[in-house]
Amino acid sequence: MAAPGSIDELCVNTIRTLCIDAVQAANSGHPGTPMAMAPVVYTLWQSFLRYDPDDPIWPNRDRFVLSSGHASTLLYSLLHLTGVTSVDEKYERLGTPAVALDDLRRFRQLDSKCPGHPEYHLTSGVETTTGPLGQGIATSVGMAIAADWLAQHFNRPGFDLFDYRVYALCGDGCMMEGVGSEAASLAGHLRLGNLTWIYDSNHITIEGNTVLAFSEDVAARFLGYGWQVLRVSDANDRERIADGLADARRTTDRPSLIIVESHIAYGAPHKQDTSAAHGEPLGADEVRATKRRYGWPEDAQFLVPDGVYQHFAAQFGARGRKLHAEWSALFERYRRQYPELATACEQMQRRDLPAGWDHDIPVFAADPKGLASRDSSAQVLNAIAPRLPWLIGGAADLAPSTKTRLTFAGAGDFAAEDRSGRNFHFGIREHAMGSILNGLSVSKLRAYGSGFLIFSDYMKAPIRLSALMELPVIYIFTHDSIGVGEDGPTHQPVEQLAGLRSVPGLIVLRPADANEVAEAWRLALSLKHQPACLILSRQPLPTFDRARYAAASGVTRGAYVLADAAGGRAPEVILIGTGSEVALCVGAYEQLTAEGVAARVVSMPSWELFEQQDAAYRAQVLPPAVTRRVVVEQASVLGWDRYAGATGTIIGMKTFGASAPLKDLLNKFGFTPDHVYAAAKAQLARKE
């Protein structure tokens, strides 16, 4: 425990008062947890964390995740006091403070680098966005997996390039959220000895004491998961905290949970206030009383006393700079001995792709029977992966169905016994899988995960965070429509495509045949700051004859003219489809063309990419003057009016599906070439 009047106590109280002042200035925020956990996090950063403040993206830095994101001022205060500097989106070091004192003064204000919850892409030193409770600890599992995989892939005798640890601070909310349980279960199964969670057990949530809804034995639960569980009975006892962290660091065969008992107390002894813990400033009188208790000038605001910056620099900063310099020298020796691996490591860190990564992507011959797009995707994935060594991923227990297993020699399985494998088994844990993918991605691996489209609902939070953090995660969703057939409406997605398309920054791709699948993969892997969803079928899709129809490279523009009227005639009617429904449009097109109708088929695999094109291109594909249009998609009709127009026809789903053989379902809901043809004829007969 810090001695009264010591420099350690002064630093801890500086953290506390900066947090208090930031929340008070904003008149918004959560001061309780930062105040209670300041000694814990101070001990971690000052005595254990390996981190160079001059380079917050040093690849072998330890990671600190503030899963209790509402306590954001705690992290911002540490970033300020330790002098962490900024990095831009091109991974260039700027030399400016990640968090200046003025940024803390503008906590929760517009365009501040100190938003209400930590944001990965906004504030250097924030390892992952942690707004929704549970996401931070789940993401930290992905970071820990990445550390072990990187060590196995890049380390060589005498060259331990990667041996970093991952720490996460969490609270009762993270313990209650199911995603945390999913992730903890997998972490224990994989025996991630480089992972430590610090659990702030303060027994307080927004509604009051946790006794209202949470009475389980957390320690017993984590022991059951296979974790080491340690206890610290007083969050102010820095010696016991240090002992716990040292014990966790020595334990390499399982993750560690350190349960820290804290009491959210302010100016008056033993005063507990749940509102201040969870969303309200203390108020001017309580701020003065609290500062008086700390021996702090009552009216001083954002005070950093003499010696505090220097003390952090002498320990945290000096240790990190020394370790980083040693690592950089090691890497230069490594480069001389293993030049190809060194180049790959640097490319990975910049999110660059190796030369020739796409050379083996197949070109699929025309085939009226074709392939399910999940099957063509499997071929493309296994053609790319050998040339892109840090492309790794798996499924939530569905790889045989999603066809996402890497099958080439040496791909292997990532397991507790072998960290070298590139196939991940997430178990039936879709929510945690999404969060873990984000953890892999912030660690600069190219990560993908797969499941049935209907289960994207279980992954909505991490998908949203991928987009918010601008991470190029690839989500592969198969069984994309009522084409699931007999499995019935519980497994037949209807509204999921509309939901995914509504996420800002997310690229949704629903390819129409095998060659569109190839282009979709090429596009998804070229993204550096956007996640992508590949929406794939279970049923076979005909492979179009690209000598007769347009090249699949049009996928990169989101929508393109696949088939057009002969002789350069302007189209009388436009048929628009995605995925399996494009073949229906082509079938109707052939019937119309045989009758002399000037018809056009537009394949539209991605709304988002199409909207990124200039107005001239969009008008070229969908001429505004051509209002006779038919849109076909086995999904909710929501949003399609923007392309069908006010008078066009939309053939889609307005109800849930049904359990029946595929052909019966397609007939029932109108997904046949004849029905599309009839809709086109009705459009042609319509008076303008």
Residues classed as catalytic? 430
Nearest in space to 496 (alpha carbons), one of 448, 523, 535? 535
- The sign of the CA dihedral 532, 537, 542, 543 is positive
H/E segment holding residue 637:
none
626 with 598: CB under 8 angstroms? no
Nearest in space to 395 (alpha carbons), one of 422, 425, 415? 425
Nearest in space to 418 (alpha carbons), one of 153, 47, 663? 153
CA torsion 558-563-569-573 (nearest 10°) is -80
Task: Take residue 324 and report the two structure tokens written for it.
Answer: 């980083």
Quote the strand ranges of 317-413, DSSP E.
367-372, 391-395
- The sign of the CA dihedral 327, 332, 338, 343 is positive
Task: Sort residue 297 into left (φ over 0), alpha (ψ -120 to 50) or beta.
Answer: beta
Task: Take residue 488 and report the two structure tokens written for it.
Answer: 């019935």
Q: Which residues contact 672 (CB under 8 A, 6 or more apart)?
A: 584, 666
Enumerate helices (H) and strands (E) in the chain, giving the number of each: 26, 22
Nearest in space to 280 (alpha carbons), one of 108, 149, 425? 108
- For 242, counting Cβ atoms within 10 Å of its Cβ (0-12 exposed, 13-18 middle, 19+ buried), the class is middle
Dihedrals phi, psi of 87, to nearest 5 degrees: -130, 140
149 with 436: CB under 8 angstroms? no
With H, G, I as helix, E, B as strand and everything else as coil, classify residue 57: coil
- The sign of the CA dihedral 438, 440, 445, 449 is negative
Q: Which amino acid is at 24?
A: Q
- For 474, counting Cβ atoms within 10 Å of its Cβ (0-12 exposed, 13-18 middle, 19+ buried), the class is buried
Q: What is the 3-state secondary structure (H, E, C) of 162-209?
A: CCCCEEEEEEHHHHHCHHHHHHHHHHHHHCCCCEEEEEEECCEECCEE
CA 456 distance to own-chain centroid: 13
**Residue 631 exposure: Cα atoms within 13 Å on the Cβ side:** 25
DSSP character at residue 389: T
Nearest in space to 132 (alpha carbons), one of 366, 438, 368, 418? 438
